[in-house]
Amino acid sequence: MSGKRITRLTPDQRRTQLVDIGLEMLADRSLDELSTDEVARRAGISRGLLFHYFDSKRDFYRAVVAKECARFIEAVEPDPALEPVAWLRSFIDGFVAYVLEHRQVYLALVRGASGSHPAVADILGETREAVARHVVDAQRRIGMPQSPRLDIASRAWMAFAEEAVTGWPPGEPGAREELAAFLESSFVSLLGTLDRPVGLADMADAVARRAGA
């Protein structure tokens, strides 16, 4: 007989292992393509045993998405003791760093999960709302007056930022710093135009004044 002992995992340890395997697999596939058969095989257990720890495939998907969303929220949460400008930059830097380091997982969740799996749409929606609230918090920290359009603007900026970070060429020199500066500029511009939107006519007048100076 072999003297090798098999270490049994507690139920919580096994659940964590299975969710972590699911997250690893999202690095090269969509949530649609996440096979519970393969997750069980990689964990060295039967598919039936996987469903001893999760009520259903839907329940497993929700556990995977919830863990990744919690990791994302933690990554973008600035230190509350920071000064306003440093706080804002910490938030944006955390957002950029997270997406560039977990690009495929982020794409699998942002681009695929909410449409393909309505069961996780609420988790993704709550995550976006939690991150978008940083826009509201930034306005308060900077000392700008409240705007009735701020909630709408915060969600609009999140959509803009998601498109920017997922479409930005990550392999170029200085990509991370350039992307962070781009998002910071858009963030500041958004806050600056909430109460005084600038239309095309206003921009044309400003250009004409500069040309005549």
Tens of pLDDT, residue by residue over 113-152, are 544 567 788 898 888 888 888 888 887 887 776 777 788 8
Give yes or no for residue 193 having a pLDDT over 90.
Answer: no
Residue ranges per domain, the chain?
11-193
What pLDDT sits at residue 131? Answer: 87
Q: Name the class of domain 11-193.
A: mainly alpha
How does pLDDT run across 57-96, given as a tens digit for each residue? 999 999 999 999 999 999 999 999 999 889 989 999 999 9
- Inter-CA distances, 167 with 16, 100, 164, 175, Å: 31, 11, 5, 12
Give yes or no for residue 1 having a pLDDT over 50.
Answer: no
pTM: 0.79
* Token pair in block for residue 169: 């060429």
What pLDDT sits at residue 212? Answer: 64
Neighbouring C-alpha atoms within 13 Å toward the C-beta of 146: 2
- Inter-CA distances, 213 with 18, 198, 201, 204, 207, Å: 66, 21, 18, 14, 10
**Which stretch of 34-43, 153-162, 194-203 has the lowest confidence by average pLDDT?**
194-203
